[in-house]
Structure 1
Amino acid sequence: MFALSRLLPLSLLALTLACQKSAPAQPTVAPPTNTTFTNPLLPAGPDPWVIRRGDTYYYMHTTGNNLVIRKTAKMSELGSAVSTVVWTPQQASVTQRDIWAPELHFLDGKWYIYYSADPLCCDGHRINVLENANADPTTGAWVDKGRIAVPGNDLWAIDGTVLEQNGKRYLLWSGHEVANSQVQRLYIAEMSNPWTLIGPRVELSSPQYSWERNGSPAVNEGPEVLKHGDKTFIVYSASHCSTDDYALGLLTASATADPLKLTSWTKSATPVFVKNPAGQAYGPGHNAFFQSKDGTEDWIIYHANPQTGQGCGDNRSPRMQKFTWNADGTPNFGSPVAVGTALPKPAGE
C-alpha cells in the first residue's frame, strides 16, 4: 500500500483517477436473502479491520483523512451499520495526513486505535496510538498517546497490530530497515504498555520469494495475528498493492515460542490466498479475522479490486468469507469468493 493512495487522501485520489479515465463498471451483486449475504460488504473499504466485544462487532478501514468506526450486531449487515467519525487529527491540533490501516484493540480495560499517518516530516509514515476509557469506542473522548516507535530507531512504519503470547504483548508492523529505504519488511518488538515499545526490534520477514516481489517496491505489510490450537500464525500481505498479485503469506510458530526469536517462525514458500480473476477479486489482501456470532465459525475479511489494474485506490472493497483448517493445523482460506455470490450468513446471525 505504498502508492498513490498512500500519498493522497482517498477522496482526492478518486477524483484524480476519475479525471484520468472513465469510472469502471460496477460488479453485479445479487440481492441478499434472510439467510444469505453477498460480497462486497461496502462499495469501498481498503485495509478492513474487525474486532468483536460482547455481542457487538466494530469495524474500521482506511479513509485517508480521519478514523471511522462502524458498529453492528451482524457482520452480514455491515452496509447498514451505524458509522461514527471518532478522530480527525486536524481538529485535535495534530498535523497529519494520509491516515492508513486503523486497528481497534481492547487492552487492559481500555480501547486503543493503532493507525499510520504521515507527520509531514521524518521520511514519511509512523504508527500512532489513541486511547479511550469508555466502554463503547464510538463514544467518549479519544486521547492521543503519540507515536509508538523503537527507542533510538524511529523509522518509517505502518500497519501496527498487537500480538499477545506467553503473558507478554508485542507490536507487529511493516517498516524500513534504514532511513529512505524502499523495501517493506515485517518487524516485532515487545511492549511495556499499549503505547510504548521496549528492547530492540526483530525482523521477521522480508520479500524473498518472487510472489512477494510483484510491483515496486517489494513489500511485506499488513501483519495480522491468527491463533489456533497450539500454533500462532502471522498472516501478512505481500507484493505491491498496485499489482493484481497482491496476496497473503504465512508465518507459523508454536503458541508457546518466543516470538522475538526468528528461529521460532517458519515462513510458507507459497502464498495462502491469491487473486481470483473469474470472481472479480484482484489483489486480495490486508485482512483481519473474526468468529461468527455463535463462535463456531472462523471468518476472514479482506479487500480486493473488482477489475484488473485498479491498484491501491478506492475500488478496493471489503469482502468476507468463512475459512477452514488443514490437517496440520494451518488455515485454509480457499479462493476469494466471486462477487455477487450468495453466501450463508455467519452462524448465529
Structure 2
Amino acid sequence: MESATVTRVLSPALLALALLLGAAAAPAADGPTYANPIYGGQDPYVLLHDGVYYIAASAPGDSAIVVFKSDKLTDPGVSRTVYVPPATGPYSKQLWAPEIHRIDGQWYIYTCADDGDNANHRLIVLKADTDDPLGSYSMAAELQTPGWAIDESVFRAADGKLYCVWSGWPVDTVPDSTQHLFISRMASPTELAGPAVDISGKMHEWETRGRPDGLNEGPQPLLRDGRVFIVYACSGSWTADYALGVMECTDGDLLNPDSWVKQPKPAFSRTDHVYGPGHGCLTKSPDGAEDWLVYHSSIDPEGSWNRSVSIQRFTWTADGAPNFGRPAPWGTVLPAPSGEPANKLISEPGGELAETFDNLDRWEPICFFRRTSVRVRDGALQVRGTLDPRYGDKLVLRDRDYADFEAEVEVNRRRGDGAAGLLFRISNAAVGVNRYHGYTAQWTADNRVQLVRSNGDELTVLAEADLPGRPNRPLHLRVVAQGDRLSVYLDGARKPLIEAQDETYFTGAVGLLSGGVNSTFDNFQVRPL
C-alpha cells in the first residue's frame, strides 16, 4: 500500500485502465494505492463487519482453519488458528474454502472436510466458542446433503429465510465427473430444511474446460435491489481457463431450478496477464461506497494450484447486473478501496521500533502460503523463500511509512540463489519478484551488497560492492536515508560500504526481502531522523 501522505497523480493511461476494469467514475487523483496480487493463497472469503474485515482461510495442507482481522482490504491482517480438527475421523482432513459468517449474533465458519478420501467430502459448520471471531471454534454439525459436497455459502433472502448454496456431485452421476450448484432452505444456521435443488442447469462450453461434463463451484450470493445473483467459479480450478460465471433467480422462486438463468458468457476470465481467475467473494470498501471482488488466480500461465489472491473494484451495468470487467494485470498500480486508512508517516522522535520478532502481528507477509514459508523461532524471523521463488517473498511493517530514517537488521542467508535484505521507502508491494516500488539494501547469492531501486518490474543497481570473502555468519546491515542520499553500512562500520543519491522515492514503508532464498532475520530496528 502507498501512504496517503504520498501523492501519486494518475496518468491518462491509468484512468483509462480503471474505466476498462469497470470503475463507475474516474478514481481520485491521489491517495493510497495497491498492486495485485496482494498475498499468496486461495479460495478467499472476506466479511466486512462493523468496519473490520475478517478472512477465513485454510492453513497450508488444509489441516486447520485460520481467521484474519484487518481494517484494510489490501492487507489480510493479523491471524490466529481457530480450529484444528481431530487427528482421525470423518471430518479430520482436507478442510477446504472456509467462510466466516455472523448470523443472529453468533460467529460461524462454514467449510467442508473428509477422512482423507475426497469422495467423502461433506459440508460442516463450526461455531465460535466465544464472541471473539479470532477465538476458538468447535464442530457444530454436518449439513445433510445427498452426497459429496463442498464450498457452501449461506445468505438471508428478502423473505427473511436463511438459504445455503454449495457445489456437489449430482446423484446417479459418475463420481468426480461433474459438479453442479445446489440450494436448500435452512431450518437454522446448522441444519438444512431441504430439499437440495440442483440449479446449475445447462453447462456452457466455457464451464467445461478440464471437465467435459461441466464444473460449477464456489457459489457466492449477491443481493441488490431485490434481485438475487449467484457468482460462481467454473471449469477446472487447475486450468488457466478457470473463470467466474453469474446466474440470476429471475422470478424470486429460489427453490425452482427453472427460475435460475445463467449469463451466456463468463463474467470474469483469463487474460494474457492473469491466469485462471476464480473462486471469488464479494465485499465492500471500508466506507461502504464501493463494491469489490476478491479472487484467486494461478501464478502459472498454464494454470495450477499455485495461487495468489487479488482484489478489484466492480460496478453495475445499466440494467442492474454486476460488471466485473477484466482482471487487472499484476503489478498495475490502482486506487485502494475508498475509506481505507492510510499508513501513518513516522517522522518525529518516539517513532522508534525495535522488533524482536515475538510474532508476526506487526508484519504483513507477502509470501507463498505464509504459515509454511514464514515463522518465528527463538526470537528470530525465518523465511523459506525457496519454496516458490516466483512469489518474491517480502514482509512489510504494517501501517507505518518513513521519510528520513535509520534502519538495521541482521540477515543470514541459508540456502538459495536469490537476494535477502532490507526494503525501504516502498509502496505497492505485491506477490512476485521485484513487485514493489522503492529500494532494497540486499545481500546477493554472488556475495555482493547492492543498493537497488525497483519500479515494480525491474531493478536498477544504484551502488554495489563485493564482500571480503564469503561470510559464514550473519551480516549486520544498516541503512540511513536522508533526503536523496541513501547509505548502507556493514557490521557496525562508521563509514558506508556503498551509497547513492536518488530522487525517485522519498517516503514509504520498511520491510524485509527474502526472494528465492531461505533467510533468517534478527535484531531489527528502525527510527526516524
TM-score (norm 2): 0.56
Give the Cα–Cα distance (whole angstroms) in 2 for the partners of residues 122 and 55 of structure 1: 37
What is the match of residue 72 of structure 2? 74
Deviation at 1:91, TM superposition (A): 6.3
Deviation at 1:133, TM superposition (A): 5.2
CA change 1:137–1:111 in 2 (3 A) is same
Superposed, 1:197-276 pairs within 5 Å as: 197-206=192-201, 208-216=203-211, 218-253=214-249, 257-276=252-271
Question: The residue matched to 1:60 in structure 2 has which SS?
Answer: strand
Contact conserved, 2:89 with 2:115, CA < 8 A, in 1? no
* Amino acid of the structure 2 residue aligned with 1:260: L
Contact conserved, 1:206 with 1:219, CA < 8 A, in 2? no
Question: The residue matched to 1:89 in structure 2 has which SS?
Answer: coil
* Amino acid of the structure 1 residue aligned with 2:37: P
What is the match of residue 156 of structure 2? 164
| Structure with higher RCO (Cα < 8 A, 6+ apart) | 1
Deviation at 1:285, TM superposition (A): 0.5
Deviation at 1:33, TM superposition (A): 4.6
Q: Sequence identity of aligned pairs in percent?
A: 39
Give the Cα–Cα distance (whole angstroms) in 1 for the partners of residues 50 and 309 of structure 2: 23
Contact conserved, 2:129 with 2:138, CA < 8 A, in 1? no
What is the match of residue 103 of structure 2? 107
Contact conserved, 1:96 with 1:120, CA < 8 A, in 2? yes
Bigger helix fraction:
1
Contact conserved, 1:110 with 1:133, CA < 8 A, in 2? no
* Amino acid of the structure 2 residue aligned with 1:194: P
CA change 1:101–1:206 in 2 (3 A) is farther
Question: The residue matched to 1:61 in structure 2 has which SS?
Answer: strand
CA change 1:220–1:95 in 2 (3 A) is closer
Please give the root-mean-square deviation of Cα atoms over the aligned residues, in Å. Answer: 1.9
Superposed, 1:13-52 pairs within 5 Å as: 32-34=2-4, 35-42=32-39, 44-52=40-48
What is the match of residue 307 of structure 2? 316
**Residues 3-37 of structure 1, C-alpha deviation per residue, up to 9 Å, x if partnerless?**
xxxxxxxxxxxxxxxxxxxxxxxxxxxx7454101
Question: The residue matched to 1:123 in structure 2 has which SS?
Answer: helix
Give the Cα–Cα distance (whole angstroms) in 2 for the partners of residues 93 and 86 of structure 1: 19
What is the match of residue 19 of structure 1? none
1:296 to 276, 279, 289: 289
Give the aligned length: 307
What is the match of residue 347 of structure 1? 338
Question: The residue matched to 1:336 in structure 2 has which SS?
Answer: coil
* Amino acid of the structure 1 residue aligned with 2:255: L
Superposed, 1:77-156 pairs within 5 Å as: 77-78=75-76, 81-90=77-86, 96-120=92-116, 123-132=119-128, 134-139=130-135, 141-150=136-145, 153=146, 155-156=147-148
Give the Cα–Cα distance (whole angstroms) in 1 for the partners of residues 203 and 66 of structure 2: 35
Deviation at 1:162, TM superposition (A): 0.6
Structure 2: segments with no counterpart, 5+ residues:
5-31, 341-529
Question: The residue matched to 2:119 in structure 1 has which SS?
Answer: coil
Give the Cα–Cα distance (whole angstroms) in 2 for the partners of residues 92 and 33 of structure 1: 47
Contact conserved, 2:179 with 2:217, CA < 8 A, in 1? yes
What is the match of residue 414 of structure 2? none
Moved over 4 A (4+): 91-95
Structure 1: segments with no counterpart, 5+ residues:
1-30
Contact conserved, 2:91 with 2:113, CA < 8 A, in 1? no
2:180 to 172, 176, 185: 185
